[in-house]
Amino acid sequence: MIKSKKPRISLVGAGPGSSDLITRRGFKLLQSADVILYDALISKELLCEIDENIPKIYVGKRCNKHSYTQDSINKLLVEKAFECGHVVRLKGGDPFVFGRASEEIEYAENFGIPVTVVPGVTSAIAVPQSQGIPVTKRGVSSSFWVMTATKKDNSFSEDLKLAAQSSATMVILMGVRKFDAIAKNVSKYRGEATPVALIQNGTLKNETCVVGTLGEAMSLYRKVDVTQPGIIIIGNVVSEHPAFFEEELQRVLHDYM
Ligand SMILES: C[S@@+](CC[C@H](N)C(=O)[O-])C[C@H]1O[C@@H](n2cnc3c(N)ncnc32)[C@H](O)[C@@H]1O
């Protein structure tokens, strides 16, 4: 008699982009999966390293082009666990940072399916780091806020305003298309000379970064491809980026001439 496999789910953080930034525990689980459900920002190289006989199902949602709703992902997770056994749900960065992991855990547990979570390197810290920008630095910034700029209804979150009134480094996810509006909002509290960076496709071969001040946000915005995922960092730690000084020199020269 063939024993059917016990359903179980592992939520695994894949890290910020580069395929070698997944944890060893996460990678081991991927290799032992019966099926993998993966998000939009998962590296193709990482998936290629996993046995081709393990089915890999894309369940990404990017910029309103939802191929899957959260409800349908929850259902599929449970369906596949009963059908195949061990489902690895591979998520970008860390599953608990804007990853909707709690909803998936709750849904699966309602069906009595055990869920384990493997942390990942979050893009909120690794992407600025990839450009040499620390989120904290002794004497410069002693804390950081990780936030999304807008709420479900697309209005600016109260946290954005509160963080802008603090001296913390602001790390804003999912805000590329609102870059200019975010900069205008924050500069009301921090001033237009505050350093800002927008990093896209961090830790990948096509990583890009623009740096400047909040007052220059519009001209910086024109240089970027808004369809690419990015992180906005606001605060004095951005002046650690080598390009900030070049830009600063240009600004001083421009004002002097
Ligand atoms: C839904 S959130 C998920 C965050 C993820 N759980 C984490 O811990 O990194 C997706 C957002 O993370 C940011 N992001 C993720 N990977 C990125 C990367 N490699 N480069 C720049 N931004 C990235 C972008 O702001 C993107 O819109």
How confident is the model at residue 4, as a pLDDT? 74
Residue 249 has pLDDT above 60, yes or no: yes
Residue 172 CA: nearest ligand 1 atom is: 25
The confidence band for 62, taking pLDDT boundaries of 50, 70 and 90, is: low
CA distance 78 to 89: 11
Distance CA 230, CA 200 (A): 4
Cα(214) to centroid(ligand 1), Å: 22
Return d(Cα 120, Cα 128) in angstroms, integer.
Answer: 16
* Residue numbers annotated as active site: 39, 61, 174
Pair 170, 211 in one domain? yes
SS3 219: helix
Element (H, E) at 240: none
Ligand 1 atom closest to residue 203's alpha carbon, by position in its atom list: 19
- Based on the fold, state whether residues 113 and 131 are members of the same structural domain: no
Classify residue 2: in a domain, yes or no: no
The reported pLDDT for the residue numbered 64 is 55
> What's the CA-to-centroid distance between 230 and ligand 1, angstroms?
7
For the segment 146-175, the average pLDDT, to the nearest whole number, is: 92
Is beta strand 35-38 parallel, antiparallel or unpaired with respect to 56-58? parallel
Take atom 12 of ligand 1 and give the residue whose Cα is closest. Answer: 173
- For residue range 87-128, list pLDDT tens digits in order: 999 999 999 999 999 999 999 999 999 999 999 999 999 999
88 and 149 housed in the same domain: no
Query: Is residue 77 domain-resident?
Result: yes
Task: Assess if residue 3 is contained within a domain.
Answer: no
| Domain identity same for 108 and 153 | no
Can you give the pLDDT at residue 12? 98
Give how many domains the chain has, as a whole number.
2
Specify if 71 maps to a domain.
yes
- State which of 57, 83, 118 marks the end of a domain: 118
**Based on the domain organization, do 138 and 225 belong to the same domain?**
yes
Among 39-48, 55-64, 139-148, 166-175, name the one with the lowest average pLDDT.
55-64
CA distance 109 to 62: 27
In this predicted structure, what is the pLDDT of residue 149?
85
Instruction: Determine, yes or no, domain membership for 195.
Output: yes
| Residue where one domain finishes, among candidates 93, 118, 143 | 118
Domain identity same for 139 and 108? no
Average pLDDT over residues 5-33: 97
**Residue ranges making up the domain that contains 173:** 123-256
Mean pLDDT of the region 29-47: 96
Q: Return the DSSP state at 85.
A: S
Ligand 1 atom nearest to 41, measured from its CA: 16
Q: Which of 74, 98, 118 is the last residue of a domain?
A: 118
Q: Are residues 111 and 169 in the same domain?
A: no
